[in-house]
Amino acid sequence: MHDPAAGDSPIGDGQATPADAAARAHAAALRQRIARLDHAYYVLDAPEASDADYDQLMRALQRLEAEHPDLRTPDSPTQRVGGAPREDLARAPHAVPMLSLNNALTDAEAEAFDARVQAALGLGEPVYCCELKFDGLAISLRYRDGVLERAATRGDGSVGEDVTANVRTIRSLPLRLHGAAPPLLEVRGEVLMFRADFERLNVHQREQGAKEFANPRNAAAGSLRQLDPGITAQRRLHFFAYGVVFAEGEEGGPGAAPPDPVAPAPPADSPAVPGPVHGGGADGVADAPTQSALLDALATLGLPVCEHRAVVQGISGLRGFYAAISARRDALPYEIDGVVFKVDAFAQQRRLGALARAPRWAVARKFPPREARTQVLGIDVQVGRTGAITPVARLAPVEVGGVVVSNASLHNEDEIRRKDVRIGDTVVVRRAGDVIPEVLEIVPELRPPDAREFQMPERCPVCASLIERGEGEVIARCSGGLICPAQRKQALLHFAGRRALDIDGLGEKLVDQLVDAGLVSHPAGLFDLDLPTLQGLERMGEKSARNLLAAIAAARSTTLERFIYALGMRHVGETTARDLARHFGNYAALAAATEDELLRVPDVGPVVAQSIRRFLDDARNRAEVDALIGKLEAIAAPAPVARSAALAGASFVLTGTLPTLSRDDAAALIEARGGKVSSAVSRKTRYVVAGEEAGSKLVKAQELGIAVLDEAGLLALLESTGGS
């Protein structure tokens, strides 16, 4: 008897033709490959292929099974959705399965979807609800009497993983719904990590020597599936609701409303696909006739719903939404890989029904892939505005996301070693936004025998200064500073900054014009600018030019600590500049100080002392500083500080927004009493001053048992130690 799971297809008297045997072998290979990729992506959170490569494999298998129906086995990836739940998390069965969506990769496929909908409904142009297709993790939330009771991942579509404790840490998600809620409400949505939080997480992973995440989607998945909710709480996750499945009775028990056999269930990898609505409940959610109305009703319950959605008519409306979102994709704070088109009216959705794997009334219109394979022709280094040395791969030109790419960032030397990228390798390149693309990984099996390892150059390719990498640091930097042309614009902006010489009106665009026109090459040159020169610049009128000249004139008189900070010496921030000014009293004494003498300054260690001495010993830097001093009228010595014995040397960290004090004002008050303001919380921190929207610094202070003050508490402390 034929076993369809075995993949054998009986033909005639049982003998298969060579073509059928080849098809069976091809199908088996595709199933095996897709199964391995599914396991790596959904279970291990370690993707082994790009989305584009995965989609190609799945479409190849779908075509093969369509041509040879007998090859379609129950265990085929085309017949199921997602991967198996992890065994170390409790299983969470879904009362209504979480399905997926079919993809439309081209305009023609989107047009075909619209044509099928029109033909099936027998109407004119259908009305669609359009939303974003997030690159996150599908989640099902069950609220009982308005209180969050259970959260479950998609898993295999029928059984997921219970991640309730972790989901409770998502701050944007209400633990109790707003207003009147139905007795039992199941919400489907997406958990995701914003780009900025993803970047911060990977910085932390690098600092801890831990494995970095490949992309925000996997970072969100890895964070949500932690066994320790405390780890999840430290990683900022977000949630967007996109659909509802609810009933008044217990799931699977007496009084339960059975799942509608016709209406499709929400997909796991797409927003804005509702499930069947059962039973009574809150006005709006239960009675919503359309997907767009349902999303509005979810928002009234306090559930986050993405604002980027629209109701459109016909194929022209679908094209318009796709074009609008594609144009603003890079400006979004999170990753999306397409948009979702859905018939808006639920009654029409029920008429259209669903296939085994996906609804007929919805489709995901995906963006062009942002990943591609190409060869590394060479590895050069670029010098950034701050002197950071970034290795960049020169690539054989390849189209990625509609743009021809010939260079890609390798970030730093450690990343090159970790990914084992060599000249001659075939690599996977990803483009995200307008920034330079990056190399994600190599393709080991395509490495040529003559592939060569990268060697970091010893000197800056722009100014020939030494390239240095401090102990424990990831980034190598050019030591040229003021004299490196690649850093010229950044040096000027830093010099004119509010905490340096405070030249109001000298912004980035103006600095670009001055440098590009060859009018200013070093900070001292700012003091040679005149009215005719400035008025000759683009968008610079007489009033603006006079205001800038007045700000430059005011900067001729400054303080020693501002002057030291303005020089932009490596490792010398505002606090260190202030300590140096107070210790030496004038620039000549600082310039003559040995490393041993520098080490006597509070909080100046060997690395900082060496960096200062290296800057001061460079003849080009000395010439630039001498030129600056010649342009200034006065460099005032620091005023005596009225110190409080109680706060002398006490370390404060400021976080969040205070009600009345700016951060600079608060820091000035603390320093006037002998305290010090630091940027990071450590065991040496005595106080953390927290305002509105205080972040991870407050969490760390609480973990370490450090005293936390609000603004009133800070002022009271300062008053008790000598006045405020």
Instruction: Supply the residues annotated as catalytic.
Output: 133
Measure the CA angle with vertex 144, ends 273 and 162; round to 5°.
Answer: 70
Contact 309, 295 (CB under 8 A): yes
- Interatomic CA distance for residues 36 and 29, integer angstroms: 11
Of 357, 358, 323, give the one whose Cα is nearest residue 339. 323
Positions of E strands within 145-209: 147-153, 159-161, 184-192
Hunting for tokens 């690599």 — which residue is that?
A: 427
Long-range contacts of 611-618 (CB under 8 A, 24+ apart): 611/569, 611/570, 611/571, 611/572, 612/569, 612/571, 612/572, 612/580, 614/479, 615/479, 615/481, 615/567, 615/569, 615/570, 616/590, 616/591, 618/465, 618/479, 618/481, 618/483
**Other CB atoms within 10 Å distance of the CB of residue 314:** 16
- Kind and range of the H or E run holding 97: none
Token pair 């992309």 is found at 215
**Within a 13 Å sphere around the CA of 510, how many CA atoms are in the beta-carbon half?**
20
Q: Give the closest residue to 97 by CA, choosing from 275, 254, 244, 355.
A: 275
DSSP E strands in 511-588: the ranges are 557-559
First to last CA, the chain: 91
Phi then psi for 389, rounded to 5 degrees?
-95, 115
Tell me the Cα Rg of the chain: 31
Instruction: Note the Cα 80 to chain centre separation in Å.
Output: 30
Alpha helices, H only, 557-605: 560-566, 574-584, 587-592, 595-598
Cβ contacts of 544-553, under 8 Å, gap ≥ 24: 544/505, 547/504, 547/505, 548/503, 548/504, 548/505, 548/506, 548/510, 551/502, 551/503, 551/504, 551/505, 551/506, 552/503, 552/506, 552/526, 552/527
> E strands, 251-370, where?
310-313, 336-343, 362-366
Strand partners, 50: none
- Whether 83 and 41 have beta carbons less than 8 Å apart is answered as yes
| Number of Cβ within a 10 Å radius of residue 627 | 14
How far apart are alpha carbons 426 and 440 in whole angstroms? 11
Query: 404 by DSSP, 3-state: which?
Result: strand
- Triad 708, 714, 716: Cα angle to 5°: 125
Q: Residue 336: name the closest of 135, 634, 567, 166 by CA.
A: 135
Q: Which two tokens stand for residue 213?
A: 């995440």
Partners of 132 in the beta sheet?
339
The HSE-up count of residue 693 (CA atoms within 13 Å, CB side) is 2
Cβ pair 372, 365 in contact under 8 A: no
